[in-house]
Structure 1
Amino acid sequence: MANEYSLDGTTLKQRIVAMPEDSILFRSDFPEYHIEFVGSILSELTTEGVLVRIAQGIYAKPRKSRFGMVLPSVDKIVQAIAARDNAEILPSGMTALNALGLSTQVPMNYTYLTTGSDRTVKLLNRDVILKRGVPKNFCYETRLISLLVQALRALRKENIGQEELQTIRQLVSKEPDKEALMKDVDLMPVWMKKIVKPMLNV
């Protein structure tokens, strides 16, 4: 029986079932087993409802709640893809605006800059577009400023009103690493720095 193929007395199926909820698995995560055998176990666990296939070769172990099965967030899934590729990622465009609360509009597709290669992953019913970004996008120490640069670029200067300024002000005030924040703001494009720098003194 395929399920009896085990290492150290534990079958692959048992190992996957024992993984914590919210885990993200790749078909390539188990090189000690033949790839077709891994595929058959993943398919079997998907049929049994233990796993959900979220993209080609990518599976998630959903969290059980009183509302039913809850999949890991798109951001967590993309972080896992980036980690497997040994790359950094950064939400961009509408995805960055949404992440910071500067837009409540749910993006049709998710866009990220990456230090890895360009690729598009079909994630359930949406596309996740990974686009290779220039190194300066990844030069900031704080995640806040990294995201804010991408969000403001998508929003554009002429569309920034009092509501957006208030949201940015709140985000800046909550950033714990003030020293890194000040350094990062100085590295922002000039028009963005003019908006954010006065908020550091509040």
Structure 2
Amino acid sequence: MAVSIENKVKKAISNYKTGKIFFPSDFSKIGTSTAIRQALNRLEDIKFLLRLAHGIYLYPKKHPVFGILYPSIEEIAIAIAKRDKARIIPTGIHALNKLGLSTQVPMNIIYLTDGSSRSIKVNNGSIKFKKASPKLLSVKSDRIILIIQALKELGQENITLRVKERIKQILLTVDKDLIIHDAKLAPQWITKIIKELIEL
């Protein structure tokens, strides 16, 4: 008897560790898009998979005390970007958090991207992808991109000594040639701060 599409999808998922995020396109070699979606829906019905959002599924990892361990909104966004072979750039509070300049963890995250624009609702939060400017996408260092986005979020009038010290620490981990290249692509006031901190 032929193995059903559902069993093939289930077997393919079982080859991975729990906690992994899957998309229907991950199983395109197994069957038609309609058959795959039906199989994923059935696997969701029997609790083998959890649906995080439309077309986004979790192979759940269970903790004996805390129950199902859900991925962070950032982990979901990274999985989407990997699927789409797109670059994503954190913005706002999220950029500040990643640089250690804020302890706030936003539930609604906006990313700039070279992929398609869209909004996705996930659990109690949301992910929004917005088109990034070609100039920003020309920045080579991910750390410089984070610095640019974090300083934009704070605004020119709110750059404290503490912020400058933290930015300086991060800049010390970036190749100087990259800093010279990337600083030119930032808004003028941010370029000035970067140059002052690294003494270019």
TM-score range, shorter chain: 0.7 to 0.9
TM-score scaled by length of structure 1? 0.83
The RMSD of aligned alpha carbons is 2.7
Following TM superposition, by how much is the alpha carbon of 1:69 offset from its aligned partner in structure 2, in angstroms?
Answer: 3.4
Structure 1 residues 41 and 101: alpha-carbon distance in aligned structure 2, compared to 1, 3 A threshold: same
TM-score scaled by length of structure 2? 0.84
Structure 1: give runs of 5+ residues left out of the alignment.
none
Question: Which residues of 2 match residues 40-189 of structure 1 at below 5 A?
Answer: 40-65=38-63, 67-175=66-174, 177-189=175-187
SS in 2 for 1:97: helix
1:13 and 2:10 are equivalent in the alignment = yes
> Contact (CA 8 Å) 2:136, 2:185: kept in 1 or not?
no
Partner of 1:35: 33
C-alpha distance after superposition, 1:160-180 (max 9, x if no partner): 1122122212222233x3332
Which deviates the most, 15-24 or 150-159?
Answer: 15-24
> Contact (CA 8 Å) 1:61, 1:71: kept in 2 or not?
no
Following TM superposition, by how much is the alpha carbon of 1:201 offset from its aligned partner in structure 2, in angstroms?
Answer: 4.6
Identity of aligned residues (%): 39
Q: Which amino acid aligns with 1:138?
A: L
SS in 2 for 1:131: strand
Q: Which amino acid aligns with 2:81?
A: A
Partner of 1:199: 197
Following TM superposition, by how much is the alpha carbon of 1:140 offset from its aligned partner in structure 2, in angstroms?
Answer: 0.9
How many residues are paired up? Answer: 198
Q: Distance in 1 between matches of 2:47 and 2:97?
A: 31
Which deviates the most, 107-116 or 66-75?
Answer: 66-75
> Contact (CA 8 Å) 1:109, 1:126: kept in 2 or not?
yes
Q: Which amino acid aligns with 1:178?
A: K
Structure 1 residues 62 and 163: alpha-carbon distance in aligned structure 2, compared to 1, 3 A threshold: farther
Structure 1 residues 76 and 108: alpha-carbon distance in aligned structure 2, compared to 1, 3 A threshold: closer
Structure 2: give runs of 5+ residues left out of the alignment.
none
C-alpha distance after superposition, 1:89-115 (max 9, x if no partner): 111122222222222222241101111
Structure 1 residues 38 and 148: alpha-carbon distance in aligned structure 2, compared to 1, 3 A threshold: same
